[in-house]
Chain A
Amino acid sequence: MSILIRTLLLALVWGVTTTSSAQEISAEDMRSLDGQVQEIKTDVLSIASELDNLEERLLFPSNTQVAVFVSMEPDETFRLDALQIAINGELATHHIYSFNELEALQKGGVQRIYTGNVATGEHELSVTMMGKLKNGKDYNHSDSFAFAKGVKPKALGITLAGPGLGKSGIQIGDW
């Protein structure tokens, strides 16, 4: 019977022992490869960063650049489904939120929803949000804001909130 028990105990740790033996063959090589993968990650991140910089200079020069960022009020519980942004009455962008994106906003993330170009001077930003409240009712809200574009890049931060938490609707901040 003790042989059976040993078999049982071997079976219990089988998952660990067999995979260990399988991996011993290449564990050393895998570690070495892991180091090389980390190096290439550093290289590609550096390329990405330089490319971002180049793209920004090429596509959105600072004297015309305008970027719109979206965040949510802390502890906000309404479900944001979609957001639409218009500049001077022209549709700039619209976005439909996935569960992960909404969760990222609720945890304090800030989404860059739009980067574009406008001439220096006065402009109007219109924001429309569509979503649902906790009780299942539709929650739609629109608002417009004037902003001035100068020589420097313009960053506009939109903060969204549902009703019932003091501040309501859409707030805009200049960054």
Chain B
Amino acid sequence: MRRAPFSVIGLLLLACLATSPSHSSELNDLHFGEALYYAHQGHFFEALERLDSEVRQHYEIDEPELDTLYAHINDAEFSLGDFELRYRMHHRAGRAIRAVLEGDVDEVIRNDAAYRLGRIHFQKNQLADAMRALERIDGKVPASISDDIEFLRANIYLAEGQPAKSMDLFKRLQNTDEFGAFAAYNLGIAYLQDGQRQAAVTQLDRAGQTVADDAAELAIRDKSNLVLGTLLAEAGDYDRAVPFLNRVRLDGPFSNQALLSAGWANMSSEDFERAVVPWKILAEREVTDSATQEAMLALPYAYGKLNVHGRAASFYGRALDSFGVEVDKLNASIDSIREGKFLAALVREEIRNDKDWVIRLRALPETPETYYLMQLLATHDFQTGLQNYLDLADMRGKLLAWQASFDAFDDMVDIRYDHYQPLLPGIDQEFRELDSRMRLRIEQHEMLVKRRDAMLTMPQPEFLATRDEQALLARLENVERLLTGQETPVEASFQQRIQRLKGTLTWTLETEYHERLAKFDENLRTLDQAIAILQEEYTQYVRSRQAATHSYIGYQKPINRLRVRARDSVEKIDQLMARQGHMLELVAIEKLVARRDRLKDYRDKARFALADSYDRATQAQARTGEQ
């Protein structure tokens, strides 16, 4: 155990760094909120689908500062990166965050982006890039992530094989609430990596006594004790190893390994009675666990050392039976996987709705293989492959559902076409007639408005004459024109009378001008309202007319394009699922075959040991009889 596996450190880091999708406390953008709603439920496809198009639209609009996303755009970019990472799209994950980092933003935001980018690179195992991202952090750092940054930096050093550089960081972090247990353990691993064995023992001892109430912290405390106990046992310091192994909780995830190791440590110090105790507990546990199987063989071995050969024979017999059953079960599992039942079980919807679906798989009677795959299911590469397979299955389901929608869309467009197409020519004809009448009235209205505006600056009383007054004036002017040139005494008298009548009319028009202008203005205002209503209805009609056309025109191409893309994607997904599934099956079968071979080996050993124990028991019995 010179060096902790990178995956262990990485998993610890992930456990600590798993953060919720960030969101502002005063969220002003509903669509960003909608993306968060899906993300908080673990539906990252839906979250990405919404947020990606929302961010894209934000950048496409002319005045983004008026958009509701404007206040949250950096947060949205960060969340995009988070969602992509969680949806296992590592290739794209850094893109959005890099955009923030390279943009003209406040240094606090830039530093936050640098940290997030570093985290993504670390998760992608790109250690140099991760460190380069952290080196871009300069100036003010958000208080909420300052420890996160240091923890990430220390883990990068550790993963790069530079434990000395990580030590000071872990020393400080082991006193924090958030990272205490993890930093304490990693510091112990750093000492080990650096060859400081005594310091590692002291540190792991400390990490193994961390006060914890969180499940992850309790697990890392157990892990510290298990590693320390193993380290001491490896050095032949069995008596010191046992107390550390005994510290591991009996109901924790490292319990079986600790019990097995405690038994071997006691056995190695030839304290056979004490070796029996942990192995007896372990031998009663879940029989598919490799530690349990080893304990089933080790327990009678310990009884043999105690010269209790009868009991040893009994336990060897029990182990032999059990191993036989398990070998049969493993053979059945291997056959089951070859028949495709394993993959079929994995994609069952009702199983995956449960958060602990991997655990529940074990309860499926038709999938015996899952009993033996728990360890494999927990490994990172297998998990990635498995999750990819499940993601592919999800996408396939979505695409098939969409394909059904395309036919419905086609029907919808056809129905709309059949409905509107015969109606529209008649409606358009009526509209054209109405349109010309409306235009005339609107022109008349505009002319009257101009006339009123002109009269406000230059009075023109004749414009406000009534129809009768206008007719009278026209008649007087006509008579006046007829009399022009006739030089008779009667003509002079007529001229006088015409002038008097015109004077009377002018008097009326002049004296009533203001009153008439006010009335005209009042009437015009009423007309304004009527014209406004007319124009509104006109606009509404035009919109409805456009909407009718838009409801069935211009869909065929995009629907067909999407149909082709969906079909191609399904084909591609089928190929990928077949390849991915085949790989998962191969790895699973290889794992099961290894377990089966190991069990067969155990079974052979148990068979010989059983015979030996019977002989010894019989000899002992004979000796007792002779005495």
> Which of B265, B291, B587 is close to A23, meaning CB atoms less than 8 Å apart?
B587
Q: Which residues of B contact A142 (CB under 8 A)?
A: none
Interface segment out of the listed A36-44, A84-92, A126-134, A160-168: A36-44
Contact with A along B550-591 (1 / 0, CB 8 A): 110001001100100110010011001001100100110011
Task: Write the nearest CB–CB distance from B184 to chain A, whole angstroms.
Answer: 21
Contact with B along A1-24 (1 / 0, CB 8 A): 110110111011111101100110
| Distance, CA A175 to CA B69, complexed state (A) | 12
Q: Which residues of A contact B236 (CB under 8 A)?
A: 2, 5
- Cβ A47 vs Cβ B261 within 8 A: no
- With A11-B294, A33-B583, A108-B33 as contacts: A4 and B267 at CB distance below 8 Å: yes
Q: Which residues of B contact A101 (CB under 8 A)?
A: 37, 41
| Distance, CA A21 to CA B237, complexed state (A) | 30
Task: Write the nearest CB–CB distance from A154 to chain B, whole angstroms.
Answer: 12
- Cβ A109 vs Cβ B591 within 8 A: no
Interface size range of chain B in the complex = 35 or more
Contact with B along A104-141 (1 / 0, CB 8 A): 11011111100000001000000000000000000000
Interchain Cβ contacts within 8 Å, total number: 210
- Cβ B88 vs Cβ A11 within 8 A: no
- Cβ B392 vs Cβ A45 within 8 A: no
| Chain B CB within 10 Å, residue with most, of A47, A49, A54 | A47
Task: Write the nearest CB–CB distance from A93 to chain B, whole angstroms.
Answer: 15
| Chain A CB within 10 Å, residue with most, of B7, B39, B40, B405 | B40
Q: Which residues of B contact A74 (CB under 8 A)?
A: 25
Q: Which residues of A contact B576 (CB under 8 A)?
A: 33, 36-37, 40
> Which of B37, B268, B385, B558 is close to A50, meaning CB atoms less than 8 Å apart?
B558
| Distance, CA A23 to CA B7, complexed state (A) | 14
Q: Which residues of A contact B391 (CB under 8 A)?
A: 37, 41
> Which of A15, A19, A47, A112 is close to B566, meaning CB atoms less than 8 Å apart?
A47
- Cβ A104 vs Cβ B540 within 8 A: no
The binding surface of chain A is classed by DSSP as helix
- Cβ A51 vs Cβ B562 within 8 A: yes
B623 at the binding interface (Cβ < 8 Å): no
- Cβ A49 vs Cβ B49 within 8 A: yes
| Distance, CA A48 to CA B590, complexed state (A) | 38
Contact with B along A41-67 (1 / 0, CB 8 A): 111110111111111011001011000
- Cβ B91 vs Cβ A35 within 8 A: yes
| Distance, CA A44 to CA B568, complexed state (A) | 10
Give B contacts to A, CB under 8 Å.
1, 5, 7, 20, 23, 25, 27, 30, 32-34, 36-42, 45, 48-49, 52-53, 68, 87-92, 226, 230, 233-234, 236, 257, 260-261, 264-265, 267-268, 290-291, 294, 375-376, 379, 381-382, 384-385, 388, 391-392, 395, 398-399, 402, 405, 409, 412-413, 540, 543, 547, 550-551, 555, 558-559, 562, 565-566, 569, 572-573, 576, 579-580, 583, 586-587, 590-591, 594
List 28 contacting pairs A-B, 8 Å CB cutoff, sorted by A. A4-B267, A8-B265, A9-B233, A11-B260, A13-B1, A14-B290, A19-B382, A23-B382, A23-B587, A25-B586, A29-B579, A37-B88, A40-B395, A40-B569, A41-B88, A41-B395, A42-B92, A43-B572, A47-B569, A48-B45, A49-B49, A54-B555, A63-B543, A71-B33, A100-B40, A109-B38, A109-B39, A110-B30
A47-B565, A61-B547, A112-B30 are known; give 4 further A-B pairs, CB within 8 A: A45-B45, A48-B49, A49-B53, A109-B33
In the A-B complex, the 7 residue pairs with the smallest Cβ-Cβ separation, listed nearest first, are: A110-B33, A109-B37, A104-B40, A8-B264, A37-B388, A109-B36, A22-B590
